[in-house]
Each structure stands twice: as structure tokens, then as C-alpha cells.
Amino acid sequence: MLSVAHSSCPVLPSLRRLASAAPSARAATYVMQLDRRTRRAYATHAEDAFRIPLIDFSKYRNAKTTAEKEQTAQDIVRGFTDVGFIYLNNHGIPQETVEGAFKQSAEFFKLPIEKKTELAWRDPRANRGFVQVGRERVTQSADAEEIKALRAKAPDYKESMEIGRDWDKTYRNYWPQEADAPAFRRTMLSFFQTCHELHVLVMRSIAVGLKLDETFFDDKIHEQYHNLRLLSYPPIKRQLLSGDGQARAGAHSDYGTLTLLFQDSVGGLEVQNPHTGQFQPATPIPGTIVINAGDLLARWSNDVLRSTLHRVVAPPAKQISETEEITPARQSIAYFCNPNQGAEISCLPTCLVPGSKPKYPPVTTEEYIVGRLQATYV
């Protein structure tokens, strides 16, 4: 772990005292408090010892005592405080369930492009449907014109299928015909529900780690205002990814509470070390889920929990001629967890230093997410 994570307090009060500082200033403030010798050691340690912690979630799910739950909850909160990412092991989702979702996802992306474009993404409020290669450009910018220019210069080389709650009265999912993708709808709706149930458990652990009631978030996330995103990164010639700003998916943070990421073995995800600014690989670990905190959880916690920048880069390429290389295909599934559509996101009571003011004004889930999505897509 990074040296700033050594406190045994689950809320990390030293970081809470810095809650009004910008995220990039938190580590710098710590360094200023250290003597010169420690400062030099810290700079090296922060770069060399940057690790995404591996959490055994069975210790929380199967805990017999409150103290056992609190220990795992502290580890999870510390991971989101230091890095913004964790690997979750023994999470309770059977491997065959994950493999079934990946199989159905792969079959969907093999459909003819004409079949997929019939299901095209249309509306940021709905955030459902098929997104073809080049239509999305993820970035931290919220300026529509700037994103448009980035998309023209360096689009994201991926395609996706976005799925929301299927009982929504306003926005419907776009499903392929059963004859074209047998069992696709049934598999994805079941997986959607399974991921929501894990989201509830992880949010309960975060509540415990932040010294809130364990069920604090339950009535704020029960509407399942989530997004299941199936992702396909087709093989691509290496030279097409060598341009300025080009990546399979550009550097960005996620918008909601948590993202559950299921990776294949190819890899390519990189996470920005918040203390050095360098991107480092989040190497796939079989059987684990990569989970990161999103913008709304960061706002809820007054930036005590980090919404960390990450990107997807090309894995090692295969030589196909004397002058050309091609990167392998990559699959992943991301489950973007969100608070309820109309939930007001304002500073949690345990994440505000007495006498100080919250960093962010209150915002609803829908206002924040729809605003970000409107600028992201063409």
C-alpha cells in the first residue's frame, strides 16, 4: 500500500482534514508535512509501491462478528482512498455466470453491423443501445466542442452495447431478435440483477468503513438506475493507435458510485497513480473483479474516496508483416453502478471536517450523468 494509507482509522481522518483540498493536492500536502529525508523516500515509494489492493470479500460476506466486517470494510475504504481501485476476490458471483455473460457478449458482437445498428444508442437520458466504433470519445472534458474535436482526431477504437433496467417505464432496452442472439436477453438481465446485488453489498461495506449505518445507502440505490456495458475492442493495426491522444479508450473517470469491471486475459486497462500522474497496468487477475469509485461517490465523500483516471491501451501486438503489427481483440464487461435517478448527492456527514464546507454543491444523479453523457457521444 502507499505510505499515506497506514492509518488504522476506517475513515482516514488525516484525509478528511484535507477534504477541502483538490484531489491532486492531497498527496502534496502530506509530503509537505514530512521531513526532507522522508520526502525523498516517499517520492520513490509512491511510484514503486503503487498497488491496487486485492480484497478477499468472503471475509465480509461471511463475517461472524461486527469486528470482522469492519476490518474488511476498512481495507476497502482504504483502497478507494489511496488508489480509487480495488481487486475483489471471492465476491460471490460464480465463474460460470461470468463466462456465460462473456460468451453471449461475444456472440452479439459477431452479428452483422446492419443487425447491430438497428439497435443504435439514441438518447443520453436512456443510455441504451449499440455504440459503433468511433462514436464515443471518453475524456475528462465536459465541453461538447472540445470532445467533438477529440473524437475527430482520436476516436475510441471500441464498440459497446448498453443495457439498463428492463422495467423502466420511460426508456426501453434495445434487444436483438431471439433468433439472432438466442438467450442473450435472458442472460444479460440475470447478470444485471446479479451485479446489482453485489453493488449493494460493496456499498454496505463502504458505509461501514465510513462509520455510517451499514444500510445507509440501501434506499439510495435500490431503483437499480445502473448501466450494463458490453465492450468489444476489435483487432486493429498498431499504427492506427500510435497517433497523438489515441487509445482504445481515452483517459477518463466514471460517473456513478462504483464500476464493476470484468476483464478477459488480454488486458490493456491502465490506472493513473494519483501521486505521480503516471499510468500503470491493472493486470487481469483470474477470478477477480476490478472495482473503482466513480465521480458521484467521490462527491458524496467530499473526495475522501477517489474517482481515479484510467484508460485502455493496446496490449502487445503481433507482427503480421515487416512493417505492420496488429493488436489482439479484447473483451470486457463493465457494470456502472449509480445512485437512484433522483437521489441528491451531497456531502456525507462523516466526510466533512467540523466547521468546514463541502467541496461540491448538491446534484442529482440524473443531472450529473446525463450532462456528462450528452457531451461524450456524437
Question: pLDDT by residue (tens digit) across 238-252?
Answer: 665 555 444 556 788
Q: In the prediction, which pLDDT does 267 show?
A: 84
Q: In the prediction, which pLDDT does 371 show?
A: 87
CB distance 124 to 374 below 8 Å: yes
- Per residue in 2-51, pLDDT (tens digit) is 333 333 333 544 443 433 344 434 333 322 232 333 333 333 344 456 79
pLDDT band per the 50, 70, 90 thresholds, residue 312:
confident
Q: In the prediction, which pLDDT does 183 show?
A: 97
Q: Which residue has the higher pLDDT, 154 or 66?
A: 66
* Rounded-to-integer distance, Cα 333 and Cα 321, Å: 32
pLDDT band per the 50, 70, 90 thresholds, residue 80:
very high
Q: CA geometry: angle at 100 spanning 94 and 105, to 5°?
A: 135
* Rounded-to-integer distance, Cα 245 and Cα 258, Å: 26
Give the contacts of 222 (CB within 8 A, at least 6 positions apart). 200, 340
Which of 185, 317, 188, 189 has the alpha carbon at shortest distance from 241?
317
User: Looking at the predicted structure, is the pLDDT value of residue 210 above 60?
Assistant: yes
User: Looking at the predicted structure, is the pLDDT value of residue 322 above 80?
Assistant: no
| Mean pLDDT score across all residues of the chain | 82
* Rounded-to-integer distance, Cα 242 and Cα 234, Å: 16
Q: In the prediction, which pLDDT does 373 show?
A: 79
Q: pTM higher than 0.75 for the full model?
A: yes
pLDDT band per the 50, 70, 90 thresholds, residue 58:
very high
User: Looking at the predicted structure, is the pLDDT value of residue 349 above 50?
Assistant: yes
For residues 167-192, average pLDDT: 96
Half-sphere exposure in the Cβ direction for 302 (13 Å, CA): 22
For residues 205-213, average pLDDT: 98
User: Looking at the predicted structure, is the pLDDT value of residue 375 above 50?
Assistant: yes
